[in-house]
């Protein structure tokens, strides 16, 4: 990792495309908009990330729970000088509403999209909610690509203006068995995905093997991979995540280290910073996506510590 200037809106795509010795190891953060009608509540939460995170995701009904509109939240962040990544899920809207939302995002100057299927409403606090799932994330990615490249809707209808999208997808790292092929992710790349943010993978050895398999399939030359990491607060929370958050990978040695720590939350931040340093050395890993539900303050601390450590190591 190398020292660079403060992030500016519109820079994420450029930084993920950068190559060579001056390549910046990108760090994005995730922020759940508040359950609030007050814009200041969102901006206060995001303020600590300004000038630190290369971009900030705003979730779209994460955990199948209502909060401030992701589109509104992304627009507020952009106005505050924080580059947003707008998450859009297929759970709550049909294809007409999804197309309208993407046109609205383009009109507001929002470039970065993370296009997702979305959590099952049964997992949320209103389990009687009717899911939509009119289309899947692959089709949504294709829709965004057509809007950007062809200026048309899937029907062929022309769209005015310009949608200068940088299109993202989600993926789930695995320890690939012999002969494994990343068919789902490859399909998303073929549909138009340009970057991917992954589920938590707190095991650098597995990341090496997973990204190695992606590279062998020709994916990493066309897709910037951001690995999901978390400043774990305790061995108990790490164990819960590993058991209950589908696809989460946390090394047993990490949980054991948290169990032995006098201050587990502080140790969790140190573990995250050390992991980021190691991930930055893995070919094909373009950056990390830092998620800390209920522990937002730790994200800024991790980014500051990781960049400071990188600068010290490169002097």
Chain Cα centroid distance, residue 85: 8
Distances (CA, A) of 52 to 27, 300, 313: 8, 7, 19
* Tally of structural domains, the chain: 2
Do β-strands 26-31 and 55-58 pair in parallel, antiparallel, or remain unpaired?
parallel
Q: How do residues 139-165 score in pLDDT, each as one tens digit?
A: 999 999 999 999 999 999 999 999 999
Does residue 288 belong to any structural domain of this protein? yes
The per-residue pLDDT for 124 is 85
Query: Two tokens at 139?
Result: 């089709």
162 plus 210 within the same structural domain: no
Does residue 6 belong to any structural domain of this protein? no
Does residue 182 belong to any structural domain of this protein? no
119 plus 197 within the same structural domain: no
Write the secondary structure of 177-191 as one string of H (helix), E (strand) and C (coil): CCCCCCHHHHHHHHH
157 plus 221 within the same structural domain: no
Q: How do residues 31-83 score in pLDDT, each as one tens digit?
A: 999 999 999 999 999 999 999 999 999 999 888 899 999 999 999 999 999 99
The boundaries of the domain holding residue 211 are 193-315
Does residue 161 belong to any structural domain of this protein? yes
The per-residue pLDDT for 123 is 86
126 plus 201 within the same structural domain: no
159 plus 226 within the same structural domain: no
- On whether the pTM is more than 0.75, the answer is yes
SS3 24: coil
Residue in the structure block whose two tokens are 């997702």: 116
Query: Two tokens at 82?
Result: 């924080």
Distances (CA, A) of 294 to 70, 260, 310: 18, 23, 27
Q: Among 198, 278, 183, 270, which Cα is nearest to 231's?
A: 270
Does residue 270 belong to any structural domain of this protein? yes
Contact present, 76 and 43 (Cβ < 8 Å): yes
Degrees to nearest 5, angle at CA 244 with 268 and 63: 95
Give the domain CATH number at 211.
3.20.20.220
Distances (CA, A) of 70 to 105, 184, 226: 10, 26, 21
Does residue 222 belong to any structural domain of this protein? yes
Per-residue pLDDT of the chain (315 residues; tens, 9 = 90+): 444 445 556 689 999 987 766 678 999 999 999 999 999 999 999 999 999 999 999 999 888 899 999 999 999 999 999 999 999 999 999 999 999 999 999 999 999 999 999 988 888 899 999 999 999 999 999 999 999 999 999 999 999 999 999 999 999 999 999 999 999 999 999 999 999 999 999 999 999 999 999 999 999 999 999 999 999 999 999 999 999 999 999 999 999 999 999 999 999 999 999 999 999 999 999 999 999 998 999 999 999 999 988 765 443
């Amino acid at each position: 990792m190398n020292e660079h200037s403060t992030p500016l809106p519109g820079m994420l795509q450029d930084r993920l495309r950068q190559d060579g010795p001056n390549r910046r190891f990108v760090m994005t953060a995730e922020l759940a908009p508040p359950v609030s009608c007050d814009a200041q509540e969102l901006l206060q939460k995001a303020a600590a990330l300004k000038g630190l995170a290369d971009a900030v995701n705003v979730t779209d009904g994460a955990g199948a729970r209502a909060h401030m509109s992701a589109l509104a939240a992304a627009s507020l962040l952009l106005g505050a000088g924080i580059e947003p990544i707008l998450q859009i899920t297929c759970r709550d809207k049909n294809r007409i509403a999804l197309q309208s939302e993407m046109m609205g995002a383009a009109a507001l100057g929002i470039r970065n999209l993370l296009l997702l299927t979305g959590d099952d409403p049964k997992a949320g606090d209103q389990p009687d909610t009717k899911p939509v799932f009119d289309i899947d994330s692959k089709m949504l990615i294709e829709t965004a690509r057509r809007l950007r490249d062809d200026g048309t809707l899937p029907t062929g209808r022309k769209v005015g203006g310009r949608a200068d999208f940088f299109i993202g997808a989600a993926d789930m790292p695995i320890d690939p068995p012999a002969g494994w092929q990343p068919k789902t992710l490859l399909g998303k790349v073929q549909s138009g995905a340009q970057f991917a943010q992954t589920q938590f993978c707190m095991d650098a050895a597995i990341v090496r093997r997973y990204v190695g398999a992606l590279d062998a399939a020709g994916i990493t030359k066309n897709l910037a991979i951001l690995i999901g990491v978390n400043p774990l607060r305790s061995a108990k929370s790490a164990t819960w995540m590993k058991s209950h958050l589908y696809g989460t990978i946390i090394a047993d040695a990490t949980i054991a280290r948290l169990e032995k720590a006098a201050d587990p939350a502080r140790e969790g931040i140190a573990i995250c910073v050390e992991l980021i340093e190691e991930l930055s050395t893995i070919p094909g890993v373009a950056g990390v996506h830092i998620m800390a539900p209920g522990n937002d303050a730790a994200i800024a601390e991790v980014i500051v510590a990781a960049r400071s450590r990188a600068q010290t190591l490169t002097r």
